[in-house]
Amino acid sequence: MRIAYWDCFSGIAGDMNLGAMVGCGLRLDDLREDLSGLALVGFEIRHRRVQRGSLAADKIDVLIAGEEGGRSDPGQEHHEGGHEHGHGHHEPHGAGPERGHGHHEPHEGGHELGHGHHHHPHRGLADIRDILERSDLPAGVAERADRVFEALCAAEASVHGCRLEEVHLHEVGAIDAIVDIVGACCGLRRLGIEAIRCSPLNVGGGTVAAAHGLLPVPAPATAYLLREAPVYSRGPEAELVTPTGAALVVTLAEGFGPWPPMKVTAIGYGAGDREHEGLANVLRLVVGDGYDAADERGRQVRVIETDIDDASPQLLGALIPRLLEAGALDANLTPLIMKKNRPGSRLTVIADAGLVDYLADIVLRESTTLGLRIYPVERRELDRHHLQVDTEWGAVRVKVGKLGGEVVNWAPEFDDCERIAGAAGVAVKRVIQAAAAAYCAAAAGEEKAE
């Protein structure tokens, strides 16, 4: 399975994503061919190599015919923006005197189109959907792009307190914004991406100028879109994640976290316009072939750990089965001598990353600890399966572990042996011995057959 991973250490914007895709092998001619079916005229896509900090990166410019303000010259940076079209402050057209017509001031965008020079059409979601329906795009592209636009318009409707159909967007309906979103969907198809994941997002900080004053970063629509995504703020006081970038991520990415298990085949860096001191203004896109971690000798899991010296043994004893029932891979207690020479216990829980928050809450609620240590470890496992063998007292499962197809460990399941021994009134060790003998006979028969 081909996986794409957005590494948003310096944010994400529509133009940065296109540049990163080109860096990962998306041919510009293929992108132009796909976008030639878009029911829009008067735009051109240009590519150039630039330097952002110490990194070489790919810069995509969407040039609009007849526009001034530097967009017709791909070698000239237009304004003091960071990423793209200034999507952060779209205002509903006709929704009241305070909302105006979306003629906001340029902010930290890279494709800002110079509002002082000209006017863009005010397109709503219905207008954009009409464009997509009239377009001759590759299979699946229009549907995927429509979901991104719907998320973006829903964010604006929530921020401005109006209905979805009342949102008429100045910049989001602009040609270059449409090209960024539709181009992203075309690029994913051309790169053969089957799954997308994303890192936590660096949203930047400070404020950004809008038509009616300063707004905080992230911009209101961006903040709404990222309300369930992992975010942080580090580096320059600038808008690092634009609404278009946020809409792409929350609509198309299947999840957030560290790099997924993958064998990397390409890495691309997509540049924003602005240089940031101490932070390269690029989006890193990583493409690779995913693999099932269970097929590898090692996989990443998490350890939840705490030392406790003020809990009763009954309380801690009850916590272990509670954690195992909740999905922990393992949970155990280790005796230790703590500070002030007090005897205590170290609780260690091993879990898949997706269950860490849930299991950590259980430990914090049901023990006396005040804090936890959580860290990643590599877990190596044998390929395990069960075989069932028959004894004179009943059937017993035998757990078998293989390494590279070779059986290296096996053992009768103790719970089975204990259960049927109790029912039959015989010693548990007799059942274990009988199950072991039955397994050895079965394994010898398999070897002889081969």
Count the neighbouring beta carbons within 10 Å of the beta carbon of residue 56.
Answer: 13
> What pLDDT is attached to residue 323?
94
pLDDT of residue 240: 96
Q: What is the crossing angle of helices 141-160 and 175-190, to 10°?
A: 140
What pLDDT is stored for residue 404 in this prediction? 81
Identity of the highest mean pLDDT range in 50-64, 70-84, 149-163: 50-64
- Residue 450's pLDDT band, with cuts at 50, 70 and 90, is low
Asked if residue 88 has pLDDT above 70, the reply is no
CA separation for the pair 238, 234 (Å, rounded)? 10
pLDDT at 211 over 90: no
* Share above pLDDT 90 across residues of the chain, in percent, rounded to a whole number: 61
Reported as a pLDDT band with limits 50, 70 and 90, residue 360 is very high
> pLDDT at position 121, please?
59
What confidence tier does 51 reach under pLDDT thresholds 50, 70, 90? very high
CATH number given to 383-449: 3.10.20
Cβ-count burial of 275 within 10 angstroms (0-12 exposed, 13-18 middle, 19+ buried)? Answer: middle
CA distance 231 to 219: 13
CA dihedral 177, 178, 179, 185 (to 10 degrees): 110
Q: What are the residue ranges of CATH 3.10.20 in the chain?
A: 383-449
What's the mean pLDDT in 393-421?
93
Residue 72 pLDDT > 70? no
Question: What percent of the chain has pLDDT above 70?
Answer: 83
The pLDDT-based confidence of 170 (bands split at 50, 70, 90) is low
Can you give the pLDDT at residue 385? 87
Angle at which helices 28-35 and 175-190 cross, to 10°: 120
- What are the distances in angstroms from CA 199 to CA 8, 178, 202, 430? 6, 24, 9, 54
97-111, 133-147, 368-382: which is most confident: 133-147
Ranked by mean pLDDT, the top range of 95-109, 151-165, 248-262, 417-431 is 417-431
What is the predicted pLDDT for the residue at 449?
Answer: 64
pLDDT at 104: 31
Average pLDDT, the chain: 84
* Residue 391 pLDDT greater than 80, yes or no: yes
pLDDT at 122: 67
Which residues sit opposite 301 in a β-bridge? 377
Top-confidence residue, 77 or 119: 119
Query: In the CATH hierarchy, which top-level class contains the domain 298-380?
Result: alpha beta
pLDDT-derived band at 382 (thresholds 50, 70, 90) equals confident
Helix ranges (DSSP H) in 88-219: 125-134, 141-160, 175-190
Q: What is the mean pLDDT of residues 115-131?
A: 68
Least confident of 28-32, 108-112, 247-251, 358-362: 108-112
Domain with CATH 3.30.70.1380 in the chain: 298-380
Residue 440 has pLDDT above 50, yes or no: yes
Per-residue pLDDT reduced to its tens digit, 258-311: 888 889 999 999 999 889 988 999 999 999 998 754 444 557 789 999 999 999
Position 119 pLDDT exceeds 60 = no
The whole-number pLDDT of residue 84 equals 41
- Global confidence as pTM: 0.60
- For the chain, what is the radius of gyration of the CA atoms? 29
Identify the H or E element spanning 293.
Answer: none
Q: Higher confidence at residue 168 or residue 288? A: 288
> Can you tell me the distance from the alpha carbon of 363 to that of 357, in angstroms, rounded to the nearest whole number?
10
Average pLDDT over residues 101-111: 31
Q: Which letter does DSSP use for residue 11 in this model?
A: B
Q: What pLDDT, on a 0 to 100 scale, did the predictor assign at position 354?
A: 80
